Amino acid sequence: MKWQGRRQSRNVRRGRSRGGRASRGMIPFPAGRIGGTGLIIIIVLVLIFGGDFLSSGRSESRNNVGTYENASETITPENELEAFLSVVLADTEDVWHEVFAVYGERYREPTLTLYSGSVQSGCGFASSDLGPFYCPADENIYIDPSFYYELKNKFDASGDFAFAYVLAHEVGHHVQKLMGTTDYVFAKQDQLSEKEFNQYLIRLELQADYYAGVFAHYVQNKGYLEIGDIEEAMNAAAGVGDDAIQRKAIGKVIPDQFTHGTSEQRMRWFERGYRYGDLEHGDTFTAHELFVNDWDDIGWYSDFATAA
Ligand SMILES: [Zn+2]
């Protein structure tokens, strides 16, 4: 991705890295945990970039503890990672301002908190094991930049645009909050069995992938993508699919414990967003159930998967 020298978002903060209280209400990406669903609605996507966060200015927020403590005067790959995320966040702002304007709505920008190890979020205490996540309560995305390396080593997803996909997915969860989709889903929690509710959570996740695709559509049109970027994102979407993660972790696939959708589903919804670049084609909730793969009670829509 062409990102050097471009605008960085002002909405990036460093988090405190210690705190300590129970966490709940977060929506994680397909990160660390296998199987668990219920409480955790954070959107955590994994990013591994390593190191440190913004070293530019912002001395008022230097109350963090941990490995980033002394980094702000040093130029490191971590700083570069932080700069990269700040540019990608700025791009998401441009994209979603533009998309919302098409529908006569105004986009409210989220904050990105970069932390190391653990963080006290508006949804409670979280460690980086959870992976990148979005907290609807404070409209804040939390990422430990070291997730970049995890993405590469654990999920076989390398490349800068793989990381951009992760952040764009989390921003997708923010878009869902603004549109009322998050509330729509969580209002169902008490009416449904855990298994049924989990299907809604997966649809929420796949829609965040669709929105990440919408982001890719726009930055492509602006000329910021390089050859191979879309493949990097698709590869990341595959790498964080539930079936891929389970296969690696436990050597088998347990569809009842899916939380984010299969590799195939994640790639498909990302690609769909990339193709259409609008909101209309991103309704994972009414997508009909005729479909396609082996674990099919989730049954998604087959727009291009069947044709492929
Ligand atoms: Zn997610």
DSSP 112: E
Predicted confidence at residue 304, as pLDDT, reads: 32
For residue 262, report the distance from its CA to the centre of ligand 1, in Å.
13
* Residue 239 counted as domain residue: yes
For residue 74, report the distance from its CA to the centre of ligand 1, in Å.
32
Angle at 150 between CA 149 and CA 156, to 5 degrees: 95
For residue 95, report the distance from its CA to the centre of ligand 1, in Å.
19
* Residue 262 counted as domain residue: yes
- φ and ψ of 120, to 5 deg: -90, 110
For residue 133, report the distance from its CA to the centre of ligand 1, in Å.
7
**Who wins on pLDDT, 63 or 156?**
156
Closest CA to 143 of 71, 43, 230, 55: 43
* Residue 308 counted as domain residue: no
- Rounded Cα distance, 149 and 151, in Å: 5
For residue 12, report the distance from its CA to the centre of ligand 1, in Å.
19
- The pLDDT tens digits of the residues spanning 28-49 come to 665 443 333 333 333 333 222 2
**Who wins on pLDDT, 75 or 240?**
240
* Residue 29 counted as domain residue: yes
Q: Which residues surround ligand 1, an ion (CB under 5 A)?
A: 29, 43, 205, 208
Q: Is the per-residue pLDDT at 77 higher than 80?
A: no
* Residue 44 counted as domain residue: yes
**Who wins on pLDDT, 90 or 38?**
90
Give 199's pLDDT tier (boundaries 50, 70, 90): confident
- The pLDDT tens digits of the residues spanning 247-277 come to 988 999 988 888 898 999 999 999 999 999 9
The string over 196-235, giving b where at least 16 C-beta atoms fall within 10 Å of a residue's C-beta and e elsewhere, is ebbbbbbbbbbbbbbbbbbbbbbbeeeebbeeebbebbbb
Identity at 135, one-letter amino acid code: C
For residue 214, report the distance from its CA to the centre of ligand 1, in Å.
15
What Rg do the C-alpha atoms of the chain give, in angstroms? 18
Q: Is the per-residue pLDDT at 285 higher than 90?
A: no
Give percent above pLDDT 90 in the chain.
55
Angle at 27 between CA 21 and CA 31, to 5 degrees: 95
* Residue 203 counted as domain residue: yes
* Residue 273 counted as domain residue: yes
- Residue 45 falls in which region: left (phi positive, over 0), alpha (psi -120 to 50) or beta: beta
For residue 168, report the distance from its CA to the centre of ligand 1, in Å.
10
How many domains in the chain? Answer: 1
Give 62's pLDDT tier (boundaries 50, 70, 90): very low
Output the pTM of the full model.
0.79
* Residue 226 counted as domain residue: yes
**Structure tokens that stand for 159 in this block:** 């490349």
Lowest average pLDDT, out of 185-194, 208-217, 242-251, 294-303, goes to 294-303
Give 74's pLDDT tier (boundaries 50, 70, 90): low
Tell me the residue length of the chain: 308
For residue 70, report the distance from its CA to the centre of ligand 1, in Å.
31
For residue 270, report the distance from its CA to the centre of ligand 1, in Å.
12
Closest CA to 304 of 295, 291, 294: 291
**What number is the average pLDDT over the span 285-301?**
47
For residue 224, report the distance from its CA to the centre of ligand 1, in Å.
24
- The pLDDT tens digits of the residues spanning 101-153 come to 999 999 999 999 999 999 999 999 998 888 999 999 999 999 999 899 999 99
Predicted confidence at residue 282, as pLDDT, reads: 93
Predicted confidence at residue 25, as pLDDT, reads: 57
When the pLDDT of each residue in the chain is averaged and rounded to a whole number, the result is 78
Structural domain range at position 54: 12-282
- Rounded Cα distance, 139 and 217, in Å: 24
